[in-house]
Amino acid sequence: MSGSSSDELNHQAGEVANIPAHIAIIMDGNNRWAKGKFLPSLAGHKAGATAVRRVVEASAKTGVKVLTLFAFSSENWKRPKAEVDALMMLFMRSLKKELKRMHEQNIRLRIMGDVSGFSANLQAQIAYTEQQTQANEGMQLVIAANYGGRGDIAQAAQRICQKVVEGDLSINQIDEDSISSQLYLSDLPDPDLIIRTSGEERISNFLLWQAAYSEFVFLPVLWPDFNADDLQYAIDLYQQRQRRYGGR
């Protein structure tokens, strides 16, 4: 993705031992973790929230500039209502509870996804937390909530079509940059490294456009058990790879 802010973030991270500027994580395994311990699914999600706190702190200390966490996909509404309600409650609670901690660590929170699908109270809390942290200049923490990669591209296409209809853009001007500019959080660099936990090896409709040249690391650890050592292991693997972007 082009833009001075993206270039700056990549340059700053590159100065620190080839640390990826942007790490995205598909947090998978909460339910299996709970099931393995004969606990309800909510216990797994609560343990997953604790893992989020660990990984956010570790990422910031490592020098990562953007951390994106796939918290709730647009397909997750298909889960049992009780589980969805519990996830919404946990999301609300986490936004309130972690605000002070984000300030202490100079972290800016941004939400990526269709927040209109959430309750009015949760939408208000999201807006409040984003507003309260927008001046923080440390790591940017992006939470993908009610997000899907196909939906992201579809809404970008709708915005481009609107520009064409209004005469602000011609069909011949539609290119990769114009599409990228209409995606969620287009001002941020594409993810350098995408991690998925729990041993599954698929991207599940996550950042489909932005992941074109991302490096992938799939780890067997369930998300509630994921810690700073696992994060560093994934970064170590990333640093051993050569990124050619289609070249040699």
Q: What is the rounded CA–CA span in Å between residue 6 and residue 190?
A: 8
Q: What is the rounded CA–CA span in Å between residue 43 and residue 53?
A: 16
Phi/psi region, residue 144 (left: phi>0; alpha: psi -120 to 50; beta: rest), is beta
Q: For residue 14, what are its two tokens?
A: 């590159």
Torsion of CA 111, 187, 133, 63, to 10 degrees: 100
**Residues whose CB is less than 8 angstroms from the CB of residue 141 and which lie 6 or more positions away in sequence, other chains included:** 56, 67, 69, 102, 107, 108, 109, 110
Q: Which of 7, 10, 18, 28 is catalytic?
A: 28
Known catalytic membership, residue 76: yes
Q: Which of 76, 136, 205, 227 is catalytic?
A: 76
Residue 190 · residue 211 · CB < 8 Å:
yes
Residue 133 · residue 102 · CB < 8 Å:
yes
Concatenating the DSSP letter of every residue in 132-149 gives HHTT--SPEEEEEEEE-H
Known catalytic membership, residue 28: yes
Nearest to 56 by CA among 1, 2, 14, 97: 97
How many other C-beta atoms can be found within 10 angstroms of the C-beta atom of residue 171?
Answer: 8
Phi/psi region, residue 223 (left: phi>0; alpha: psi -120 to 50; beta: rest), is alpha
Q: For residue 54, what are its two tokens?
A: 């660990």
| Residues tagged active-site | 28, 76
